Structure 1
Amino acid sequence: MKRAIGLIPMLLWASGAVAQDAASEATRAAQAELAARLPLDDPADMANATRGKIAEIADGVILGKDGRIVWDRRPYAFLAADQAPDTVNPSLWRQARLNAVHGLFEVVPGKIWQVRGYDISVMTIIRGESGWIVVDPLLTEEAAAAGWKLFADTVEAKAGKRPIRAVIFTHSHSDHFGGVGGVVTPEQVRREKIRIIAPHGFSEEATAENVLAGNAMGRRALYMFGAILPPGPTGQVDTGLGPKLSSGTIGYMEPTETVPAAGATLTIDGLVFDFLDAAGTEAPAEFVFYIPAYKALHTTEVVTHNLHNILTLRGAQVRDALHWSKVIDAMLLKWGGTAEVALASHHWPTWGQGAVAKWLADQRDAYRYVHDRTLFLANRGATLHELADQTAEAPVQGRDFSTRDYYGTLNHNMKATYQRYFGWWDGNPAHFNPLPPEQSAPKYVALAGGPDKLLAAGKAAIAAGDYRWAAELLDKLVFAQPDSQDARAALASAYDQLGYQAESGAWRNYYLAAAATLRGTELDTLTGNGQSRSFVSAIPTAVFFDALATRFDAAKGAALAGTFQFVLPDSREAVAVVVGGGVEFPRHGVTDPAPTATITIDRKTLDDVMLGQAQFPALLQSGAIRIDGDRAAFLSWFALHPPADPRFNVVVP
């Protein structure tokens, strides 16, 4: 049974209509235990996070061209407090305060600068022989433009204006290339012959990752990044990887050149860059690089100041922890003895040859620990959920904050590694075809003796501080009786405490966002970002039609058969969509000799549809689409592609 989230009225968090719980005694004890065993007052990271700061954007506020606020750090003023409140894990509080430091920073005097704290990611500017080299221009054009203006107003005002000679995209995730249009324009790239350099495979991976599964990834990302939570000590404080995602326009530009899998040494504006391939670590297309003249190592997102995700909560393909550790070791062997500063696509730099080498070694060991402990236990019979609970944190995590669970976690990374080798099933036949939650939940409630007894058991678990067990029990009750306010409130209370205790920003956000959904206080937000025409136009036509096929309603279209030939004159492409037996199979580059109907439409017009700027009925009337053959069959087929609901339920039926 599918229920709309709107059954419970949306309320502003600040209204006080539905209050969150305070930190329980068990949560306060857990926070105190962690604080007692970690050197939270070690000043080294804060010294590095603030080192070289030369300017900042006033109040941390960025406006779009229309005057809309796209970045605002003012609601995060609560992070100024040294002491963590009881409702925030003290280690995560420390990380959030480090990530909250924003501004323009001089990393290598007169040579390298970073813009930090205006997105989840970091933009780096490198001085070449005659101009600037920009690395990873953030997620959105508005944030990138503001960061570049801060740099130009501060550095160029003194050193003189210089042209941008190159832009480097270190990997295929949009928070590292989506803001490129805020730094350079396509016309500027062509006119000034600006080099855009990316790893091999970048174009396909950058534009395709979120297209096929984008709706589900987007919905889960709202929980993971806390976008449906207000900032505050009982709300969103940080993601662990960075403050939050900027809101605005996500763009794209095609690389002018790519670095091959073998790596390469390139001279960019008179400066030598030594590239090492890192594909298949944090991103499918990724590299790291070293600048010998500056003794500077850019570790991209392979090495940051947290343990990263082997499988993100929003969803992605499972990454390879073993390969990840080996790439870090290759960096250590190649540059660990010479690099005097290491900087990344997130967080703050590390200075000093010894410190850089130690950072690389510790990070390498963290990912190797994830991989090897998983297989050590799995090969002795431990299952996906058992092995993570049997494993204490890695020894390195107790002494190096950069390896702690601020974003990815040892728990989930081990489960992801198990999944990579063995799949989702644990080998127990009782688990390979279980009843779905909406069918099993009423049976559990009946077994417990009814909803009142199950609710009482859940509340007793909460009172005992056994929040994981409470969540498991009360989730059954909510799925059996989703309209029960008592069940929702109790489950939300369990999620509150789990969120408060979480060291991972992603775990905290997900727990607290789930509690907000149960209470009806989830902020009415779909996304703060919009894909630009440049991004949509870069999506390969083959990927577009594969994504369209995922929307085909096979149940209603089981009897439909035919071939629909698409002709795209402006891009000189053809796609034959073969339909039959409830399956839709696009053949890119194929022209069928006897199609059911031929649809002639420009790729640019398809982009208009994807951007929501045009609808097929109006396009048919205007003549922007020509249909030859069985028009009725085409319209019947096209009607079998309903859009997915971007607000589908996550924590309730």
Structure 2
Amino acid sequence: MNRDPLFERLWDGSAPMEEWTAAVSHGAITKVADDIITVHTTYFCGSVTAIRTSDGLVLIDTAKPETARRTLEVVRSWDDGPIHTVIFTHGHIDHTSGITAIDEEADARSRPRPRIVAHRNVQRRMERYEASHGYNSIAQGQQFDDPGYVYPIGQRRPDQIYDDTLSLTIGGARLDLFHGRGETDDATFVWLPDRRILASGDFVIWVFPNAGNPRKVQRYAAEWAAALRRMEALKPAILIPGHGPVVFGAERAAQMLRDGAEALEHLVAGTLALINRGATLDEILQSVKVPARYLAKPYLIPKYDDPEFLVRAVYHFYAGWFDGDPAHLKPAPAGDLAAELAALAGGPHKLADRAAALAAAGQSRLAVQLIEFAGAAAPDDRAIQAARAAVLRLAIGQETSLMGKAFLAVYERAAERRARE
């Protein structure tokens, strides 16, 4: 059982994850077991686990571009031997980009580059990122409120791929790899049966599951839950999340896995039940909510993704893009609709004034809808664009998820620019 005071406060919800991030920002080692460590540098960078074997080190993930070299330095402070194998738990850059620093070190030391093992779809993901590089740069920049961001591509591809399961024995250490779909379609979790240690990848991330990102490809809430159930059945004694601190103790590990599975199962079952009755997406969004007992868990706080976004993703998975509103089947151009509504209201300034009043009253959903109509009806009106920016700022303040805040901020900045032009 982990008796670290900060961990205990994270577990009971009295400490925010930002405090843990600050504590590990220099590059911190968690001793998982004899010959096994996990390195953390920030919550937003995936954890990196190093396993010492007689054939060399095995690394589970490699960190993101900004932290890869520091992560490798921390690993080297613990063991300076050759890196034999790297396992990618999935193809996101905060788990794969560090391979460049690792390869450069191997070349400089005249050592063989490590073998990369991953699910088959990691290679397909890397190919897709190259094909949609411009969009990925835009979407990632918006998601993290980083204008001008350029998505890094060109990471080395896996040397060995698998489909459902793969067992490896490296220098006396056995590692069982299992594929599942959750945040991505290429995800792997790693089980060390002789130690009862589970490296979950991003199936466990110390926030509500990231299965509804508005600007990313399809996510898989139902299969994410199934993967968590599969992990729970292994009965791990130690759980190494893809993000956040290591969880020691079988009871806590089981609780974290079970709670995550149950929350996802609730959303999926509720959404699917209403789809099967012919409900529209709007009706489903108003009806399907995560029970408060799950959102109260410190490791299921909807701080990054939003459960409402997950409902949309579940709906899309089963029912496609049409939401059941006939006006949305072949909608009028947004500018035409906005101009028509503005005329009915007595002009775009009427819409803007009403939006401002709604925002001040805390009704940010209606306020954003109306101010966007006003902005589309009068895109060159500086006063309306200034009002639009003000309404969006209020909406950002009322938003709880990082993604919601970041995406709204994109349009707030655009409105501010137009107001100055």
Give the TM-score normalised by structure 2: 0.88
3-state SS, counterpart of residue 190 of structure 2: strand
8 Å CA contact 1:179, 1:250 repeated in 2: no
Residue 135 of structure 1: CA displacement? 1.7
Q: Which residue of 2 aligns with 1:601?
A: none
Aligned residues of 2:281 and 2:324 also touching (Cα < 8 A): no
Alignment partner, residue 94 of structure 1: 16
Distance 1:363 1:291 in 2: 22
The alignment status of 1:358 with 2:259, answered yes or no, reads no
For the structure 1 residues 45 and 508, does the alpha-carbon distance in structure 2 shift closer, same or farther, using more than 3 Å as the test? farther
CA contact (8 A) 1:48 1:348 kept: no
Which segment drifts farther, 91-100 or 438-447?
A: 91-100
SS state at 1:125 partner = strand
Answering whether residue 115 of structure 2 is matched by residue 215 of structure 1, we say no
1:295 and 2:196 equivalent?
yes
The answer on whether the counterparts of 1:296 and 1:342 sit within 8 Å (CA) in structure 2 is yes
Q: Provide the residue aligned with 1:308 in structure 2.
A: 209
C-alpha distance after superposition, 1:501-523 (max 9, x if no partner): 3221111222223212221399x
Matched, 1:47 2:7: yes
Tell me: higher relative CO, structure 1 or 2? Use CA pairs within 8 A at least 6 residues apart: 1
Distance 1:501 1:94, change over 3 A: farther
Q: Is the 8 A contact 2:368 2:395 kept in 1?
A: no
Task: Look up the SS of the partner of 1:107 in the other structure.
Answer: strand
Shift of 1:48: 5.9
Which residue identity does 1:498 align to in structure 2? A
The alignment partner of 1:210 has SS state of: helix
Corresponding residue pairs, total:
412
Would the alpha carbon gap of residues 93 and 518 (structure 1) be closer, same or farther in structure 2, given more than 3 Å must change? farther
Structure-1 separation of matches of 2:102 and 2:9: 24
Percent of aligned positions with the same letter in both sequences?
24
Quote the Cα distance in structure 2 between the aligned partners of 1:388 and 1:397: 18
What amino acid is aligned across from residue 133 of structure 1 in structure 2? Answer: V
What does residue 257 of structure 1 align with?
Answer: 160
1:33-432 correspondence runs (5 A): 46-47=6-7, 94-102=16-24, 103-118=27-42, 120-140=45-65, 143-152=67-76, 154-156=77-79, 161-185=80-104, 187=107, 191-192=111-112, 194-205=114-125, 207-228=126-147, 251-261=154-164, 263-278=165-180, 280-316=181-217, 318-333=218-233, 335-336=234-235, 339-432=236-329
Give the drift of 1:405. 1.3
In structure 2, the CA distance between the partners of 1:299 and 1:199, relative to structure 1 (3 Å rule), is same
- Taking only aligned residues, the RMSD between alpha carbons, in angstroms, comes to 3.0
Whether the 8 Å CA contact 2:88–2:95 is kept in 1: the answer is yes
SS in 2 for 1:299: strand
In structure 2, the residue matched to 1:32 is none
Could you tell me how far 1:96 is from its partner in structure 2?
Answer: 3.4
- Relative to 1, partners in 2 of residues 1:50 and 1:414: Cα closer, same or farther, differing over 3 Å? closer
Quick one: structure 1 residues 248 and 428, their matched pair in 2 at CA, closer, same or farther if it must change by over 3 Å?
closer
Q: How far did 1:295 drift?
A: 2.3
Alignment-mate amino acid for residue 178 of structure 2: L
Q: Distance in 2 between matches of 1:203 and 1:188?
A: 26
What amino acid is the match of 1:151? V
Per the TM alignment, residue 250 of structure 1 is displaced from its structure 2 partner at its CA by: 5.0
Paired position in structure 2 for 1:569: none
CA contact (8 A) 1:396 1:403 kept: no
The TM-score with structure 1 as length reference comes to: 0.58
Q: 1:97 to 1:209 in 2, by over 3 A?
A: farther
Deviations 1:242-273 (A, max 9, x none): xxx9x996542232222332x12210222111
Q: 1:395, CA displacement in angstroms?
A: 4.3
CA distance 1:506–1:291, shift in 2 (3 Å): same
* Cα distance in structure 2, aligned partners of 1:499 and 1:301: 27
CA distance in 2, matches of 1:188, 1:417: 48
**2:354 aligned residue:** 457
What amino acid does structure 1 have at the position aligned with 2:334?
A: P
Check 1:277–1:455 CA distance in 2 against 1; reply closer, same or farther (3 A cut). closer
Q: In the TM superposition, what whole-angstrom CA distance separates every residue of 1:37-67 from its partner, at most 9, and x where no partner exists?
A: xxxxxx999426999xxxxxxxxxxxxxxxx
| Partner Cα distance (1:429, 1:418) in 2 | 17
Structure 2 distance, partners of 1:93, 1:474, is 37
Query: How do residues 4-15 of structure 1 correspond to structure 2 at under 5 angstroms?
Result: none
Q: Give, as a single letter, the amino acid of the residue that structure 2 aligns with 1:451.
A: P
In the alignment, the residues of structure 1 paired with residue 15 and residue 143 of structure 2 have an alpha-carbon distance, to the nearest angstrom, of 17
| 2-structure distance, mates of 1:221, 1:249 | 11
1:104 and 1:113 in contact (8 A); partners too: no
Label 1:193 to 1:137 Cα distance change in 2 as closer, same or farther (>3 A): closer
Kindly indicate whether the alpha-carbon contact (under 8 Å) linking 2:380 and 2:418 is maintained by their aligned counterparts in 1.
no
8 Å contact from structure 1 (residues 299, 345) kept in 2: yes
Residues 98, 397 of structure 1: CA spacing in aligned structure 2 closer, same or farther, 3 A cutoff? farther
SS of 1:496's equivalent in the other structure is helix
Checking the alignment, whether the CA contact within 8 Å between 2:263 and 2:290 is kept in structure 1 is no
The Cα offsets for residues 391-441 of structure 1, whole Å up to 9 and x where unpaired, read as: 333244244222221222210100111111112212332321111212211
Give SS of 2:231's match. Answer: helix
Cα distance in 2, alignment partners of residues 453 and 136 from structure 1: 54
Return the alpha-carbon distance in structure 1 between the equivalents of residues 179 and 263 of structure 2.
20
Contact 1:220 / 1:313 at 8 angstroms: preserved in 2? no
Alpha-carbon distance in 2 for matches of 1:132, 1:521 = 54
Structure 2 residues without counterparts, runs of 5 or longer: none
Partner secondary structure for residue 215 of structure 2:
coil
Q: 1:349 to 1:502 in 2, by over 3 A?
A: farther
Offset at residue 188 of structure 1 (A): 7.3
Deviations 1:67-110 (A, max 9, x none): xxxxxxxxxxxxxxxxxxxxxxxx99934334443222223144
Aligned partners of 1:366 and 1:396 also within 8 Å: no
Q: Per the alignment, do residues 99 and 518 of structure 1 end up closer, same or farther by CA in structure 2, a change over 3 Å counting? A: farther
Taking the aligned partners of 2:413 and 2:259, their CA distance within structure 1 comes to 37
SS of 1:201's partner is helix
Distance 1:182 1:147 in 2: 10
Render the CA deviation track for 1:540-595: whole Å, top value 9, x for unaligned: xxxxxxxxxxxxxxxxxxxxxxxxxxxxxxxxxxxxxxxxxxxxxxxxxxxxxxxx
Q: Given the superposition, is the C-alpha separation of residues 110 and 93 from structure 1 closer, same or farther in structure 2, using an over 3 Å criterion? A: closer
Listed one character per residue, the Cα deviations across residues 483-506 of structure 1 (whole Å, up to 9, x for unaligned) are 222222222222222222322111
TM-superposition CA deviations, 1:156-212 (whole Å, max 9, x none): 4xxxx322121111112222112211122374799536322112232222x223233
Q: Which runs of 5+ in 1 are unaligned?
A: 1-42, 52-90, 230-244, 523-653
